[in-house]
Amino acid sequence: MFDFEKLDVYTKTKKFNKSVNLFLKSAVLDKTTKDQLRRASFSIMLNIAEGSGRFTRPDKRNFYIIARGSVFECVAIFDFLKDIDKIDESVFDQYYSYLEEISKMLYALIKGLE
């Protein structure tokens, strides 16, 4: 088993990615928005995995910071989709809550590496 597979934040992010992929299959969005959301959500998971494989604390920390930035990017995309009536408030709230939890988990990992 790889180290990242033991991280709760990785497991939660993988579930988030599955949910986003299901959402994107049914959502009526332009190609650019779909691609950006897909890439941003995938970036969270991949940067967690890559960071866990780094040897130095600053290097690990950097990848977790990048992952957290991608969380913020996903929130911004969902916020915009809500504003243009592409998703309703309840869907936004669900993703927002999930991303907020992932962000807090990443923040704890980042702070633990200072």
> Tens digit of pLDDT for each residue in 67-79?
999 999 999 999 9
Q: What is the CATH number of the domain that holds 85?
A: 1.20.1440.60
- Rounded Cα distance between 107 and 88, Å, is 28
56: left (phi over 0), alpha (psi -120 to 50) or beta: beta
> Number of structural domains, the chain?
1
Residue 101: CB atoms within 10 A of its CB come to: 15
User: Is pTM, for the whole model, over 0.75?
Assistant: yes
- Section 77-99 average pLDDT: 97
> Tens digit of pLDDT for each residue in 28-40?
999 999 999 999 9
Range of the domain at 76: 3-112
How far is residue 6 from each of residues 37, 46, 52, 106, measured CA to CA in Å? Answer: 25, 14, 10, 14
- Rounded Cα distance between 3 and 10, Å, is 10
In the structure encoding, which two tokens stand for residue 60, read together? 């690990």
> Tens digit of pLDDT for each residue in 42-68?
999 999 999 999 999 999 999 999 999
